[in-house]
């Protein structure tokens, strides 16, 4: 091999300089993006970048596990929960805790500085040993890991298994919803609705549909009441929260102009 003679840029180095910045970008995206879904996707980027780095360091098993376990299972679970709890509102830009952000930033810099300082003091600038030899000993990375897992670390392995089981059972227990009231069927719902009508005067019928205008009939366009005000119930609550509502005034104007044009044509015909 001529690597000793020619200090070429190796594949590992190229990989690092591509995947490393990507991972940092992903991490920054996770921290900075205001919407939780974007954050999750940035996270996926960071994780896949890390998987690539693992692979470049002769750790193919971990690289696969990273992709399957983290990106595949854990992140998907996050996304499930995100969908489940609703993605009503993004984090507001205003920080409620006084001086939390600058202090947090300071803390982050402090951690980075401390760690890098420690790394700088600890390293002996020597060539990395690489795990190629260790991998080759049992015929591959997976075999080598298996040897350690079921050999030296077998008790830890079993404990980890127990931990996973317990965690699964615990999660089931936590998330299990004990029904405290009888589930409401259609008759009960109808009775409730009539009761609400009787006591609070709420409309017992179906909710009004969204508005229909000359320009749009999208779900975000509110319906108008006869007096010209917006019918609150014609739009989804979530859309209201997100502010994804189409302003009815311009739509109304277009509609009004259209009607006016039609009327004028009719008038002309009558005049004729």
Partner 1 sequence: MILLETIAEPVAATGMFTWAWTMIAVPAIVAGLLLLAGKLSDAWGHLVATAAVFWSFAIAVCLFAEQLLAPATERAVAAPAYTWFSVGEWTFQVGLLVDQLSILFAMLITGVGGLIHVYSIGYMSHDPRRRRFFAYLNLFIAAMLLLVLADNYLILFVGWEGVGLASYLLISFWQHKPSAAAAGTKAFVMNRVGDLGMLMAISTMLAMFGSSKFTEVNAGAASTEPMWATLIGLFLLLGACGKSAQVPLQAWLLDAMEGPTPVSALIHAATMVTAGVYLVVRSHALFEAAPTAQMAVIIVATVTLLAGAWIGTSQDDIKKVLAGSTMSQIGYMMLAAGIGPAGYAFAIFHLLTHGFFKANMFLGAGSVMHGMNDDVDMRHYGALSKVMKVTFLTFAMGYLAIIGFPFFSGYFSKDHIIEAAFADNTFIGVCALIGAGITAFYMTRLMLMTFFGEKRWQPGVHPHESPKVMTIPLIILAILSVGAGIVLNFWIQEWLAPAVGNHPHELSLVPTPVGWMTMAVVALGVVAAWLVFGRSSIPVTAPATNNPITLAGRNVLFGDQVNDFLFVSPTTALATGIDTTDARGIDRMVDGGAQAFGGLSTQMRRLQTGYARSYALTMVFGALVVGAVLILTQLG
Partner 2 sequence: MMNPENYLILAALLFAIGSVGVLTRRNALVAFMCVELMLNACNLALVAGSHIHGALDGQVAAFFVMVVAAAEVVVGLAIIVMIYRTRRSTSVDDANLLKL
Q: Which residues bind partner 1 (CB under 8 A)?
A: 97, 100, 103-104, 107, 110-111, 114, 117-118, 121
Q: Which does 121 bind (CB under 5 to 8 A by kind): partner 1, partner 2, none?
A: partner 1
Q: How far is the CB of 225 from partner 2 (least distance, A)?
A: 29
Q: How far is the CB of 139 from partner 2 (least distance, A)?
A: 13
Contact status: 136 vs partner 2 (CB under 8 A): no
Contact status: 125 vs partner 2 (CB under 8 A): yes
Q: How far is the CB of 93 from partner 1 (least distance, A)?
A: 16
3-state secondary structure of 207: coil
Closest to partner 1 by CB, 111 or 148:
111
User: What residues does 5 pair with on adjacent strands?
Assistant: none
Tell me which stretch binds partner 2 (CB under 8 A): 130-138, 218-226, 232-240, 256-264: 130-138
Number of residues that bind partner 2 (CB under 8 A): 87
Taking CA 186 as the corner, what is the angle to CA 200 and CA 212, rounded to the nearest 5 degrees? 65
Q: How far is the CB of 57 from partner 2 (least distance, A)?
A: 4
3-state secondary structure of 224: strand
Site for partner 2 in 42-81 (CB under 8 A): 43, 46-47, 50, 53-54, 57-59, 61-62, 65-66, 69-70, 73-74, 77-78, 81
Separation of alpha carbons 120 and 187, rounded Å: 72
Separation of alpha carbons 192 and 198, rounded Å: 10
- Which residue carries 């005000």 as its tokens? 229
Site for partner 2 in 152-181 (CB under 8 A): 153, 156, 160, 163-164, 166-168, 170-172, 174-175, 177
Q: What is the 3-state secondary structure (H, E, C) of 6-45?
A: CCCCCHHHHHHHHHHHHHHHHHHHHHHCCCHHHHHHHHHH
> What end-to-end distance do the CA atoms of the chain give, in Å?
98
Separation of alpha carbons 252 and 231, rounded Å: 14
Tell me which stretch binds partner 2 (CB under 8 A): 88-96, 197-205, 211-219, 232-240: 88-96
Site for partner 2 in 229-248 (CB under 8 A): none
Tell me which stretch binds partner 2 (CB under 8 A): 101-109, 197-205, 211-219, 239-247: 101-109
Contact status: 111 vs partner 2 (CB under 8 A): yes
Q: How far is the CB of 100 from partner 1 (least distance, A)?
A: 6
The dihedral through the CA atoms of 248, 253, 255, 256 has a sign that is: positive
Phi then psi dihedrals of residue 142, to 5 deg: -65, -45
Contact status: 18 vs partner 2 (CB under 8 A): no
Separation of alpha carbons 65 and 67, rounded Å: 5
Other Cβ atoms less than 10 A from the Cβ of 141: the count is 20
């Amino acid at each position: 091999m001529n690597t000793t003679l020619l200090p070429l840029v190796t594949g590992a180095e190229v990989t690092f300089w591509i995947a490393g910045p990507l991972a940092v970008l992903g991490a920054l995206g996770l921290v900075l993006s205001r919407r939780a879904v974007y954050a999750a996707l940035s996270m996926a980027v960071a994780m896949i970048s890390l998987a690539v780095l693992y692979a470049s360091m002769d750790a193919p098993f971990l690289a696969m596990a990273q992709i399957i376990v983290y990106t595949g299972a854990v992140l998907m679970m996050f996304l499930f929960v995100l969908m489940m709890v609703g993605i009503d509102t993004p984090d507001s830009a205003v920080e409620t805790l006084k001086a939390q952000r600058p202090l947090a930033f300071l803390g982050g810099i402090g951690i980075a500085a401390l760690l890098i300082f420690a790394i700088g003091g600890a390293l002996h600038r020597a060539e990395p040993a690489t795990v190629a030899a260790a991998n080759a000993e049992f015929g591959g990375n997976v075999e080598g890991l298996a040897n350690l897992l079921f050999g030296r670390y077998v008790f830890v392995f079993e404990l980890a298994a127990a931990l996973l089981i317990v965690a699964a059972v615990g999660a089931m227990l936590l998330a299990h919803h004990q029904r405290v009231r009888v589930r409401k069927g259609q008759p009960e719902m109808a009775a409730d609705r009539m009761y609400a009508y009787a006591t609070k005067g709420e409309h017992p019928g179906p909710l009004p549909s969204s508005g229909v205008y000359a320009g749009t009939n999208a779900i975000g366009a509110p319906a108008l009441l006869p007096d010209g005000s917006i019918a609150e119930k014609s739009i989804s609550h979530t859309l209201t929260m997100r502010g994804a509502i189409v302003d009815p005034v311009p739509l109304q104007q277009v509609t009004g102009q259209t009607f006016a044009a039609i009327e004028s044509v009719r008038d002309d015909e009558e005049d004729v």
